Amino acid sequence: MKKAFALLCFLLFTVSAWADNGYDLWLHYSKVTGTKLLRQYRSQIVSPLILGTSPTIQKVREEFRKAITVLLDNTTTSLEPSQTRTVFMVGVAAAAPHFTNAVTAAELKTAGSEGYIIKSKPGQTYITANTDIGVLYGMFHYLRLLQTHQDITHLNIVTAPKLQLRLLNHWDNLNRTVERGYAGCSIWDWHKLPGYIDQRYIDYARANASIGINGTVLNNVNANATILTAPYLQKVKALADVFRPYGIKVYLTARFSSPIEIGGLKTADPLNGEVQQFWNNKAKEIYELIPDFGGFLVKANSEGQPGPQDYHRTHADGANMLATALEPYHGVVIWRAFVYAAENPVDRHKQAYDDFAPLDEKFKSNVLVQVKNGAIDFMPREPFHPLFGAMPNTPLMMEFQITQEYTGQGTSLVYLAPLFKETLESDTYCKGKGSTVAKIIDGTLEGHHISGMAGISNIGSDMNWCGHPFAQANWYAYGRLCWDHELSSDTIAEEWLRMTFGNENKFIATAKAMMLQSRETMVEYMNPMGLHHIMGTGNHYGPAPWVSDQKRPEWNPVYYHKADSAGIGFDRTATGSNALAQYFPPVQQQWNDMKTCDEKYLLWFHHVPWTFITKSGRSLWNELCYHYYHGAENVKAMQQTWNSLQAYVDAEQFSHVKQLLAIQYDEAVWWRNACLLYFQTFSKMPIPAGYEAPAKTLAYYKSLRFPFAPGN
Query: Annotated active-site positions, please?
Result: 303, 377, 405
Stretch (H or E) spanning 372 = strand 367-372
Q: Backbone phi, then psi, for 7, in 5-degree steps?
A: -65, -40
For residue 194, say if its preceding peptide bond is cis, omega within 30 degrees of 0. yes
Distance CA 147, CA 140 (A): 10
CA 201-207-209 angle, 5° bins: 100
The CA dihedral of 697, 703, 708, 710, to the nearest 10 degrees, is 40
- SS3 state of residue 247: coil
DSSP bridge partners of 127? 90, 118
Q: Which amino acid is it at 74?
A: N
How many angstroms separate the CA atoms of 588 and 427, rounded? Answer: 12
Give 548-561 as a DSSP string.
Answer: ---SSGGGSTHHHH
Query: What CA–CA distance (Å, rounded) separates 293 from 279?
Result: 15
Q: Which long-range contacts (CB under 8 A, 24 or more apart) does 18-24 make?
A: 19/650, 19/651, 19/652, 20/650, 20/652, 20/653, 21/463, 21/464, 21/652, 22/463, 22/464, 22/465, 22/466, 22/469, 22/472, 22/653, 22/656, 23/203, 23/463, 23/464, 23/465
**Contacts for 19 with CB less than 8 Å, ≥ 6 apart:** 650, 651, 652
Tally of CB atoms within 10 A around 105: 9
> b/e map of 182-218 (b: 16 or more CB within 10 Å)?
bbbbbbbbbeebbeeeeeebebbbbbbbbbbbbbbbb
